[in-house]
Amino acid sequence: MTVPPQQRIKIAVQKSGRLTDNSLHLMETCGLVYSRGRDQLICFGENMPVDVLLVRDDDIPELVAEGICDLGIVGMNVFREKVADGMDVRPELELDFGRCRLSIGVPRGFDYRSPQSLEGLRIATTYPRILQDWLDTQQVNAEIVMLSGAVEIAPRLGRADVICDLVSTGSTLLANDLVEAEVVFESMAALISSNGGPAEGWPARLVSRMRGVLSVRESKYIMLHAPRSALAEIRRLLPGSESPTVMPLEGRDDKVAVHAVCRENVFWETLEGLKAAGASSMLVLPVEKMLA
């Protein structure tokens, strides 16, 4: 049965950049099977009434606020910079990718001691709103030099004294003889929606599925055999586990089978501790999705 066009929903995703692959992978993990159009800017959902629009990340908040898209995935740095007061959009769910920070970068050898070291200086950035809010909080008067790109070379060109730019590894700063001096804003990817939240139907179902995927990203499913006498210690050692499932073993009164979802990483040291407590036949499996 073909879904009428008016019943389809749209989710906006960065068309190219550090969030693109992770955003599409998240949609796939939520069960979406899609095909791309010739222009490569729309992914048409084949098994759900969900289409993914590939757009500039700067445009995503406005597309959601205007109701053109039901949901969007965007970095919180873009959200904070682009969302004006009264704009009908809000973060719905923090995602676990796209982590970075907006930081002050100063030339190597610059005597930076505190935000007050920036008093009266020129700061180049593509995030003037976030930077101005931070300067106001720190009670620092500085000139903001707005640049659309290549912020890191502004001091070398004499356009600014220091910069405020996104940092992930810090390699770009080092390549331009700059040092990270102060973190202005911590950012990650987020799912955004209108202020009313996702309506019933597929928008709400997508949010629920994303929560299910994210809740088990680091989770593992553990199966093992344990002596009944060591059951209390085994439970204590299982990392981040709720009450495990305990089942009898056929023909054994002294041992049981224990199954548990552990919401923390399971390291070799964890398995070695379980073995020392009497566990055997241990099997650790990844958990792809779970719906509470």
Q: Do 107 and 171 have their domain in common? A: yes
Q: Is 163 a domain residue?
A: yes
Q: Do 84 and 43 have their domain in common? A: yes
Q: What is the C-alpha separation between 129 and 102, in angstroms, rounded?
A: 12
**Cβ atoms 216, 242 nearer than 8 A:** no
Q: Is 250 a domain residue?
A: yes
- pLDDT at position 32 is 92
Q: Do 105 and 180 have their domain in common? A: yes
Q: Is 292 a domain residue?
A: no
Q: Is 251 a domain residue?
A: yes
The mean of the pLDDT values for the chain is 89
Q: Is 231 a domain residue?
A: yes
**Token couple for 116:** 């007050």
Residue type at 232 in one-letter notation = A
Asked if residue 56 has pLDDT above 80, the reply is: yes
**Cβ atoms 166, 101 nearer than 8 A:** yes
Strands 50-55 and 9-14: parallel
- pLDDT at position 291 is 66
**DSSP track, 70-103:** SEEEEEHHHHHHH--TT-S-EEEEE-SS--EEEE
Q: Is 68 a domain residue?
A: yes
Asked if residue 2 has pLDDT above 50, the reply is: no
Q: Is 291 a domain residue?
A: no
Asked if residue 4 has pLDDT above 60, the reply is: no
- Give pLDDT tens digits for 239-268: 776 678 999 998 888 999 999 888 766 778
Q: Do 59 and 87 have their domain in common? A: yes
Q: Do 30 and 135 have their domain in common? A: no
**Given 3-state DSSP classes, what are the helix, strand and coil percentages for the chain, each rounded to the nearest 5?**
30, 35, 35
Asked if residue 1 has pLDDT above 50, the reply is: no
Q: Do 236 and 167 have their domain in common? A: no
Strand partners, 124: 145, 163
Name the residue range of residue 9's domain.
5-97+189-215
| CATH code: domain of residue 201 | 3.40.190.10
Looking at per-residue pLDDT, the higher value among 2 and 31 belongs to 31
The residue among 169, 187, 205 that closes a domain is: 187
Q: Do 26 and 132 have their domain in common? A: no
- pLDDT at position 216 is 75
| CATH code: domain of residue 275 | 3.30.70.120
Q: Do 178 and 127 have their domain in common? A: yes
Asked if residue 278 has pLDDT above 80, the reply is: yes
- Give pLDDT tens digits for 84-102: 777 889 999 999 899 999 9
Q: Do 89 and 112 have their domain in common? A: no
How many domains are contained in the chain? 3
Asked if residue 40 has pLDDT above 80, the reply is: no
Q: Do 90 and 33 have their domain in common? A: yes
Q: Do 58 and 116 have their domain in common? A: no
Q: Do 69 and 127 have their domain in common? A: no
